[in-house]
Amino acid sequence: MIKVGVLGARGRMGAEVCRAVEGAADMELAAAVDQGDERDALTAAEVVVDFTHPGVVMENLRWCVEHGLHSVVGTSGFDPARLDEVRGWQAGRPDGNVLIAPNFGIGAVLMMHFAEKAAPFFESVEVVELHHPKKVDAPSGTAYRTAELIAAARAAAGVPASPDATTSELDGARGTDVEGVRVHAVRLSGAIAHQEVLLGGHGELFTIRHDSMNRESFMPGVLLAVRKVGGLDERLTVGIESLLGL
């Protein structure tokens, strides 16, 4: 029985994680912690799942590492500098594996994988993500990670930057630039989590799209990460691709 603690337990994603853990035959919800609660309750857990906020996640994660707890993180905002900081906390400590996933949706992970494979074969590529208007960060962690994977795949294949003759634009009209890949963020009532990767070549367009219709769609990936994080060879893992054999 895996004892699980949840940070951000009263939030939309955190509450869904609590329900999923309680419904899993091999897990026990050992602690449910949110803003204003003491983190000490998490010491009853073996694995802590964090769905909080980019402004507090680093403090939470450092605490978990210092207490030798494995962490599964769905909170966004992790750039290379933050990942290096986490590795620094882990250095010299025997326990406290960390898995940070831009997205726990199985379909979303496959979308990123397929986009990485397809990107070198098309002249142009851009990413469009759509989320609910209460999301605080833009672009999403999934879109940012997708753009990183696309950029790396194109660079490795020697593919030049997507052509773009824009010389005059309103601020933000062409989205943001993530390692040479344009990423556009839409915030729309009624949306949950959606993303399109648009690829264009000579006389053809190729679109890879993923839609999450509810937050329950992320739970199989979260539970898989909870089960696997303690046995990972790497102390810090980004994404659940390796857990899926990708």
**pLDDT digits 0-9 by tens, 153-178:** 999 999 999 999 999 999 999 999 99
Contact assessment for residue 89 and residue 99, using Cβ atoms and an 8 Å cutoff: no
Of the candidates 212, 243, 241, 213, the residue with the CA atom closest to the CA atom of residue 226: 243
CATH of the domain at 184: 3.30.360.10
Give CA–CA dist 45/60, Å, rounded: 14
Q: pTM of the full predicted structure?
A: 0.82
Residue 95 and residue 182 share a domain: no
Residue 68 and residue 20 share a domain: yes
Residue 166 and residue 117 share a domain: yes
Mean pLDDT throughout 34-43? 94
Residue 96 and residue 10 share a domain: yes
Mean pLDDT throughout 54-67? 94
Contact assessment for residue 187 and residue 135, using Cβ atoms and an 8 Å cutoff: yes
Active site residue 135: yes
Residue 78 and residue 150 share a domain: no
Which range of residues forms the domain containing residue 79? Answer: 2-100+216-244
**H helices present in 76-206, as ranges:** 80-90, 106-118, 141-156
Give CA–CA dist 67/127, Å, rounded: 38
Paired sense of beta strands 193-201 and 47-50, if any: unpaired
Residue 77 confidence (pLDDT) = 81
Among all chains, which residue has been given the structure tokens 């634009």? 169
CATH of the domain at 66: 3.40.50.720
Using CA of residue 15, residue 37, residue 75, residue 63, what is the dihedral sign? negative
Q: Band of the pLDDT at 76, cuts 50, 70, 90?
A: confident
* Biggest CA pair distance of the chain: 59
Residue 226 confidence (pLDDT) = 98
pLDDT at 46 over 90: yes
pLDDT at 94 over 90: no
Residue 236 and residue 183 share a domain: no
Contact assessment for residue 170 and residue 151, using Cβ atoms and an 8 Å cutoff: no
Residue 206 and residue 112 share a domain: yes
Residue 29 confidence (pLDDT) = 98
Residue 118's alpha-carbon distances to 11, 112, 154, 215, in angstroms, are 36, 10, 9, 28
Residue 119 and residue 89 share a domain: no
Tell me which of 131, 194, 210, 228 is the catalytic residue. 131
pLDDT at 75 over 90: no
Q: Band of the pLDDT at 33, cuts 50, 70, 90?
A: very high
What average pLDDT does the structure give for the chain? 95
Tell me which of 3, 53, 132, 135 is the catalytic residue. 135
Residue 226 and residue 164 share a domain: no
Residue 153 confidence (pLDDT) = 98
Residue 42 confidence (pLDDT) = 97
Inter-axis angle of helices 141-156 and 106-118, nearest 10: 30
Residue 66 and residue 132 share a domain: no
Q: How many domains does the chain have?
A: 2
Give CA–CA dist 193/131, Å, rounded: 5
pLDDT in tens, 101-154: 988 999 999 999 999 999 999 999 999 999 999 998 899 989 999 999 999 999
Using CA of residue 180, residue 77, residue 19, residue 30, what is the dihedral sign? positive
Tell me what percent of the residues of the chain surpass a pLDDT of 70: 100
Residue 168: what are its φ and ψ, rounded to 5°?
-135, 125
How many angstroms separate the first and last alpha carbons of the chain?
27
Residue 222 and residue 204 share a domain: no
Residue 145 and residue 91 share a domain: no
- Beta strands in 22-113, from DSSP E residues, in sequence order: 27-33, 47-50, 70-73, 98-100
